[in-house]
Amino acid sequence: MSQNVSAVIVTFNRLALLKEVIESLQTQDIKLSHIIVVDNNSKSDTQEYLTSLGNQIEYVRLPENIGGAGGFNKGVRYFMEHTTDDFVWLMDDDTVVHPDTLTELLKFADKQDQFGFLSSDVRWTDGHRALMNQPAPMNRLKVIPEDQVEPVQLQNATFVSLLMKREVVKKIGLPITEFFIWGDDIEYTERAGRVAPGYFVPSAKVTHKMAENVGSSLLNDNENRTPRYFYSYRNKRYYAKKRDFYRRNRALLRMWAEYFQIKFSNTERKQEKLDIFKKGFEAGKTFNPIIEFADDLKEK
């Protein structure tokens, strides 16, 4: 199988981390064909640094911040319309890949040609699983242990070291810009999983350099982040509608369980949090964004 791979990083004002991510990509055991950096209108220091790299990267600077979802939409579009590479490798600007990460993903791709997506084993800086990126097996009652060796089929995955084939992108289209933040990767990988199974590849490890190893929770998150949860619940309700009867209703029950957990808790700013939940959940009822498709440079 061909090993032509484009990496796509979406960044916004995290220059120190971004430098480390780019360096880790440049020192892969398998050389990347393209490193595409989508800049969500970061400050001038990021722009100056990325410009200084010249032809080491493909620099896509956006005129405004359209969120992580919009950034990945533009990055995957660039991959399709400006390269002829066979794979796209998606990651955030705090995802430090290991020298053999891509080798391990492509090794699995050689064995299992039919796949919708491949997801890495995402660890935090202390070596334990990143809680934000826990792998989601088909049986959600099971937890994939940290010492897992064999690949496992997944329901979905995050954009923290995610490999996809060009032909899958061509079939399913692009990530949904209107998601802005949260859930764009879950929706996109579930869309891909309807074409072919997605897999967790435990030998392909990366380090997710989040400030803290915590999951997202409206109940416990800080005041500045509370408004963002509008997108979380709106987007969850949208992609829950695309699932089968059992998984759709399970997702809805889980959301309402979170609502009542907040309602009967002693959390600060309780009413604000409940209002954000209700606003996002209600918006998700009619939220129906258009899925965009990119032209394929290979066909020109």
What single string gives the DSSP state of each residue in the chain? ----EEEEEEESS-HHHHHHHHHHHHT-SS--SEEEEEE-S--HHHHHHHHHTGGGSEEEE-SS--HHHHHHHHHHHHHHHH---SEEEEEETTEEE-TTHHHHHHHHHHH----SEEEEEEE-TTSSBPGGG--EESSTTS---TT--S-EEEEE--SSSEEEEHHHHHHH----GGG-SSSHHHHHHHHHHTTS-EEEEEEEEEEE--SS-----TTTS-GGGGGGHHHHHHHHHHHHTTS-HHHHHHHHHHHHHHHHHHHTS--TTHHHHHHHHHHHHHHHHH--PPPP----GGG-
* Statement: residue 1 has pLDDT above 60: no
Which pLDDT score is estimated for 2? 64
Question: How do residues 77-104 score in pLDDT, each as one tens digit?
Answer: 999 999 999 999 999 999 999 999 999 9
Residue with tokens 């950096």: 37
The contacts of residue 71 (CB under 8 Å, 6+ apart) are 10, 11, 12, 38, 40, 62
Which pLDDT score is estimated for 215? 85
Q: In this prediction, what percent of the chain has a pLDDT beyond 70?
A: 99
How far does Cα 90 stand from its chain's mean position? 7
Any idea what the Cα angle at residue 76 is, between residues 75 and 80, rounded to 5°? 120
pTM here is: 0.96
Count Cβ neighbours within 10 Å for each residue of 187-201 and write b for 16 or more, e otherwise: bbbbbbbebbbbbbb
Which of 31, 178, 47, 161 lies closest to 105, judged by CA? Answer: 161
Question: How do residues 235-279 score in pLDDT, each as one tens digit?
Answer: 999 999 999 999 999 999 999 999 999 999 999 999 999 999 999
Q: State the average pLDDT over residues 171-199.
A: 98
